[in-house]
Amino acid sequence: MGDSSGPAATPVLDATGLVKVYGDRRVVDGVSFTIERGETYGLLGPNGAGKTTTISMVCGLLGRDAGTVTIAGQPLDGSHVSVKAAIGLVPQDIALYPDLTARENLRFFGRLQGLNGKALASRIDAVLEIIGLADRADERVDAYSGGMKRRCNIGAGLLHEPQLLVLDEPTVGVDPQSRNAILESIEVLGGEGLSVLYTTHYMEEAERLCDRVGIIDEGRLIAEGTRRELIDQVGEHARIRLDGTGALGDLARRCGELEAVVSATPSAGSVDLVVTDTAAVLAPLVQAAERAGVEVTAIDVAEPDLESVFLHLTGKALRD
């Protein structure tokens, strides 16, 4: 909420030099990142990269071996638990009492956050509306489907209107439909100005939701930035494949002269281009095809994605 914060410059989260050591393994090794107000920040990394460990330190669930965490300008340490109220945590596993109803779960966790009476009741109703469980709020959680449990798990993190919503892989093991619903609601919340820290090992989710992404692998943040910045950082280029008939060789030559085109290779029935900026290339490409008298039947754009960035940086695939 860019307008609601007094000192607009204060980031909602500032984590610096986080380290967690188990035995002789540094499972989180000097991770630093900052989340501005209203920003959705993604931590993208494969299984075991250290995402949950990092988040646990940020939320004060886990002691740090080194580093500092500042939430909305306040340092997080053992003696100032009130700082934690600024965070709404959605743990990776369903963290609800299965023998209680959704409403009872929300009531308990809301009270723990200091909500009471009418304020609590109206927040519970609002959250039930957001997660789409208003009509089944009084059923026990263990009677819910996996997707409903997931949504309720998210709702419990939203109750106290935190400044920063922290979600740890909220779509793991969820059917495509529920997954889409979850992503949509996070987009809506982000759009309303809520700051979000989102971990995932799904590249598409990070691309779809996050303003900025930190790529984490083996406990280290190996790259960070907007999607565009990350892609530029590693110099990955988009690929465009134009299918058509006519003077394809002539077209390839004309394309090679365009500014954003790195290479243009004709082959039987198509021209393959490597470009630095798809948007800048598309219109001139179509014009060039007209001039060369090529009849275009299809244009395929393969934008570089975070998957290819990860591959480039680590030499391995994001998912194995």
Partner 1 sequence: MRSLSAALLIARNDFRRRLRDRSAILMGLVTPLVMAALIGSAFGGGIRFSATVLLVDLDGSDISRGVLDGIAAGTPDTAPLHYRRGTDLVAARGDLEAGRVDSVLVVPAGFGASVPGLAAGTPLVPLHVVVDADKRLAGDVTRAIAEGIGSRITTSVLAVSTALAVSASPPDAAAVQAMVSEAQKVTVPIAMQQVDVQGRYSPVAYFGASMGILFLFFTVGAGARSLITERKEGTLDRVRAAPVTDTAVMLGKTIGVLALGLASLVTIWLATSLAFGARWGSPAAVLAVIVAVVLAVAGISTMVTGLARTDAQVDGYSSIVAFVLALLGGSFMQPGSLPGVLQTMALLTPNGWALRALTRVGAAEGTLVDVLPAVGVLLLMAVVTTAAGIGGLRAKVAR
Ligand X SMILES: Nc1ncnc2c1ncn2[C@@H]1O[C@H](COP(=O)(O)OP(=O)(O)OP(=O)(O)O)[C@@H](O)[C@H]1O
Tell me whether strands 40-44 and 195-200 are parallel, antiparallel or unpaired.
Answer: parallel
Question: Nearer to ligand X by C-beta: 48 or 98?
Answer: 48
Rg (CA), the chain: 24
Edge to edge, the sheet with strand 66-71 lists: 25-35, 13-22, 66-71, 74-75
Q: Which residues of 150-179 are buried (b: 16+ CB within 10 A; e: fewer)?
A: bbbbbbbbbbbebbbbbbbbbbeebeeebb
Among 5, 40, 52, 270, binds Mg ion (CB under 5 A): 52
Report if residue 97 touches partner 1, rule: CB under 8 A. yes
- Select the binding partner of residue 84 from partner 1, Mg ion, ligand X, none (C-beta < 5 to 8 A, by kind): partner 1
Per partner kind, with CB cut-offs from 5 to 8 A, the member of Mg ion, partner 1, ligand X, none near residue 121 is none
User: Residue from 40, 54, 56, 270 that binds partner 1 (CB under 8 A)?
Assistant: 56
Residue with smaller CB distance to partner 1, 28 or 223: 28
Q: Is 316 near partner 1 (CB under 8 A)? A: no
Rank residues 119 and 262 by Cβ distance to partner 1 and give the closer one: 119
Q: Is 253 helix (H, G, I), strand (E, B) or coil?
A: helix
Closest to partner 1 by CB, 99 vs 129, is 99
SS3 of residue 103 by DSSP = helix
| Contact region with partner 1 (CB under 8 A), list: 24-32, 92-100, 179-187, 245-253 | 92-100
Helix ranges (DSSP H) in 131-212:
146-158, 176-191, 203-209
Note the Cα 127 to chain centre separation in Å. 22
- At residue 262, what are phi and psi to the nearest 5 degrees? -85, -45
Minimum CB distance to Mg ion, residue 220 (Å):
16
Q: Which is nearer to partner 1, 152 or 273 (CB)?
A: 152
- Calculate the dihedral angle through the C-alpha atoms of 184, 190, 194, 200, rounding to the nearest 10 degrees: 80
Which residue in the set 19, 21, 62, 121 belongs to the binding site for partner 1 (CB under 8 A)?
Answer: 62
Residue 217: in which H helix or E strand, if any? Answer: strand 212-217
Q: How far is the CB of 173 from ligand X (least distance, A)?
A: 12
First to last CA, the chain: 38
Q: Whole-number minimum distance, CB 140 to partner 1, in Å? A: 10
Tokens of 240: 């465009």
Quote the CA–CA distance of 281 and 147 in Å, as a whole number: 42
Q: Indicate the residue among 165 and 285 with the shorter CB distance to partner 1.
A: 165
Which of 114, 173, 235, 293 binds partner 1 (CB under 8 A)? It is 114
Q: Binders of partner 1: how many residues, by CB under 8 A?
A: 29
Identify what 45 binds: partner 1, ligand X, Mg ion, none; CB under 5 to 8 Å per kind: ligand X
Q: How far apart are CB 184 and ligand X at their closest, in Å? A: 23
Residues contacting residue 222 through CB under 8 Å, at least 6 positions apart: 215, 216, 313, 314
Q: How far is the CB of 129 from partner 1 (least distance, A)?
A: 21
- Smallest distance from ligand X to CB 203, Å: 13
Q: Which member of 1, 8, 112, 302 binds partner 1 (CB under 8 A)?
A: 112
Residues constituting the chain: 320
Contacts of 227 (CB under 8 A, 6+ apart): 207, 210, 213, 306
295 and 244 Cβ atoms separated by less than 8 Å: yes
Residues that bind Mg ion (CB under 5 A): 51-52, 92
Residues that bind partner 1 (CB under 8 A): 56, 59-62, 78, 81-85, 87, 89, 91-97, 99-100, 108-109, 111-114, 156
